[in-house]
Amino acid sequence: MNVASRPKRLAAHRLDLATGRVDLTHGAGGRAMQQLIEEIFRPAFDNPMLARGDDQAAFDVAAGRMVMSTDSFVVSPLFFPGGNIGSLAVHGTVNDVAMSGAQPLYLSAGFVIEEGFPFAELQHIAHAMGEAARVAGVAVVTGDTKVVERGKADRLFINTAGIGVVPPGVEISGDRARAGDAILISGSMGDHGVAIMAHRAGLEFETTIVSDSAALNGLVADMVAAVPTIRVLRDPTRGGLAATLNEICHQSGVGMRLDEAAIPVKPEVLGACELLGLDPLNVANEGKLIAIAPADDAARLLDVLRGHPLGRDARVIGNVIADPARFVRMTTRIGGERIVDWLAGEQLPRIC
Partner 1 sequence: MKHLDEYRDAETARRLAASIAREADTPRRYRLMEFCGGHTHAIFRYGIEDLLPANIEMVHGPGCPVCVLPTGRLDMAIRLAKRDGVILASYGDMLRVPGSQGQSLLKAKADGADIRMIYSMLDALKLAETNPDREVIFFAIGFETTTPPTALAIEAAAKAKLANFSVFCNHVLTPSAIAAILEAPAVRELGAVEIDGFLGPAHVSVVIGSQPYEFFAEEYRKPVAISGFEPIDVLQSILMLVRQLNEGRAEVENQYIRAVTRDGNLRAKQAVSRVFELRRDFEWRGLGHIPYSALRLKDEYASFDAERRFDEPYIASEGNKACACPAILRGAKKPTDCRLFGRACTPETPLGSCMVSSEGACAAYYTYGRMREPTQ
Distances (CA, A) of 332 to 26, 258, 290, 325, 336: 55, 9, 20, 20, 5
Rule CB under 8 A: choose which of 120, 262, 276, 321 binds partner 1: 276
Contact 293/230 with Cβ under 8 angstroms? yes
Enumerate the β-bridge partners of residue 156: 113
How many residues make contact with partner 1 (CB under 8 A)?
26
Q: Closer to partner 1 by CB, 48 or 151: give it.
A: 151
Residues 310-339 that bind partner 1 (CB under 8 A): 325, 327, 329, 331-339
Rule CB under 8 A: choose which of 154, 274, 296, 303 binds partner 1: 274
Q: Helices in 72-150 by DSSP H: which ranges?
A: 85-98, 119-136
Enumerate the β-bridge partners of residue 65: 166
Span interacting with partner 1, options 24-32, 53-61, 233-241, 270-278, rule CB under 8 A: 270-278
Interface characters, 183-222, with partner 1 (x: CB under 8 A): -------------------xx-------------------
Contact 341/242 with Cβ under 8 angstroms? yes
Enumerate the β-bridge partners of residue 103: 165
Q: Closer to partner 1 by CB, 9 or 152: give it.
A: 152
When asked if residue 144 is in the footprint of partner 1 (CB under 8 A), the reply is no
Strands 139-148 and 103-114: parallel
Q: Closer to partner 1 by CB, 141 or 256: give it.
A: 256
Amino acid (1-letter code) at residue 217: N
Shortest Cβ distance from residue 150 to partner 1 (Å)? 18
Span interacting with partner 1, options 15-23, 137-145, 276-284, 291-299, rule CB under 8 A: 276-284
Span interacting with partner 1, options 142-150, 178-186, 246-254, 263-271, rule CB under 8 A: 263-271
Enumerate the β-bridge partners of residue 54: none
Q: Closer to partner 1 by CB, 115 or 268: give it.
A: 268
DSSP secondary structure letter of residue 108:
E
Residue 90, judged by CB atoms within 10 A of its CB (0-12, 13-18, 19+), counts as buried
Rule CB under 8 A: choose which of 48, 277, 309, 324 binds partner 1: 277
Shortest Cβ distance from residue 292 to partner 1 (Å)? 21
Residues 243-262 that bind partner 1 (CB under 8 A): 261
Contact 168/135 with Cβ under 8 angstroms? no
Task: Look at residue 173 and give its three-state secondary structure.
Answer: coil
CA angle 178, 231, 247 (to 5 degrees): 70
Shortest Cβ distance from residue 74 to partner 1 (Å)? 17
Q: Closer to partner 1 by CB, 65 or 257: give it.
A: 257
Q: Closer to partner 1 by CB, 169 or 267: give it.
A: 267
Distances (CA, A) of 327 to 244, 249, 256, 278, 322: 12, 7, 6, 21, 10
Nearest partner of 167 among 222, 102, 219, 228, judged by Cα: 102
Span interacting with partner 1, options 85-93, 145-153, 271-279, 312-320, rule CB under 8 A: 271-279
Q: Closer to partner 1 by CB, 7 or 336: give it.
A: 336
Shortest Cβ distance from residue 178 to partner 1 (Å)? 20
Span interacting with partner 1, options 118-126, 133-141, 148-156, 268-276, rule CB under 8 A: 268-276
Shortest Cβ distance from residue 82 to partner 1 (Å)? 21
Q: Closer to partner 1 by CB, 172 or 198: give it.
A: 198
Contact 237/189 with Cβ under 8 angstroms? no
Contact 105/167 with Cβ under 8 angstroms? no
Please state, in angstroms and rounded to a whole number, the distance separating the CA atoms of residues 185 and 223: 12
Q: Which residues bind partner 1 (CB under 8 A)?
A: 202-203, 261, 267-268, 270-271, 274, 276-277, 279, 325, 327, 329, 331-339, 341, 344-345
